[in-house]
Structure 1
């Protein structure tokens, strides 16, 4: 815990729990008594009226009637926080954290002015929020893009995007937006591409602008937005197609290779075939080692080279220093 976080927790504790002794504070925060006293002085330096109560039942407390000033967000900041919390909800690992996020989102939604409350409601009512596997740090996304897409999905209005693909190439797309999905820390838009007449998936952190076009379109056929998304992610046209045989159960493999990463095909009671499409092979040695299972590489040959190089590095690290 950083000192800033500890000071905020200390202030909350003193406000809500009355008088606390230095030993109690040290034990509560896992610090020594000298550090606890320095934290008390730090609160005083920040203008918090911390009183010292002498005597047998003495200790420290915040003066009666003192409260921290409320946080105040402008409209753009409130929407940005709401979008970020929705995105964070796809990465939570505990029920307690999920509950806290939901409460925070509800409070922010209630605090928005009327002109923004409807857009926020559209986002929360339209977006499909699904926890996924742990991903890299969540990329930044323009809150206005998310809100514009949410409204287009709700109203079945065509939309125009300025898009940058994973290679950094820019293009302009027009599509019928079907689904807005927050999955594994990222925002995705799925829709019927006007140019190809195929359902395509777009990452919203790669959208530089979005605006709604005129007209409407019919509702798409009933479908599972998350299942369709993960299927498109796992079959995307990346540079490498990796095919493995893995001696493990589906449940064991899915802990490290989720449905959005690998397609699994049972071969017999003991073995599975995994097909992975990936732009890079460098992450696979660690992922396969984490499986703790027997693995056979069917393709590509480049993966065998990457695995051998990783094994050589591990072997060198295990040698005793000379």
Structure 2
């Protein structure tokens, strides 16, 4: 990192802390004590109001909070930001209805000619083969804001009215999902956002425990119903790679006697989903239980063969 760039970052770092030590600078910026001392001298030379405190708990203190210069990015950071935007390009619906094309144009217009040329050269060497978002989601903004502000919503999902408290939204396999607490069923559920045809704010108060729920891992919120079917499948190394690319809160890997298994549950109305997931894994898995799942999978392949014939 160039010294001028490091000094700029140190300015932001110490302005936020107000009190700091040489050790803080050494750890944060991976520099030696000698370099940290030179950087402090450079800060004083450019007029940063520093006051040295001596003793066991000494260090440096900023006398007055400073007005910082605008944030600047080096070429590597600009390229990283550009390709991060490229990776989102296939998702037409983003929270707050932000237009990707507008952001892209503003970003490019702010670059210098040399930076534009650098990105143009990179475009010919890097590409993102993203799958295109399949369905339009009209209510991402209200779902996200409800999750952030602990607001209960009345939604229409697959033509059925539901009362939910959104917890988080995420994108998976070309679809947006909303994880929420279903106030009617008193259970955690995941809703596909494109299937939500309307969403309205209510005056219903969320459960008190839901206000702190965002501190938990999202997978920890999922719980099977009493009628859920347990499964256990033997999986090989190729299957493990497929599982790591696509899996759901209702399933996990375990090791037993030097063998790897997928275990979990599925709801009775999710049989079609679990069969299609099994078909994706192909011969990388072997069904241990339930036995009835084997027959369902055989019937699935028979139907496919009939369609081919």
TM-score, normalised by the number of residues in structure 1: 0.44
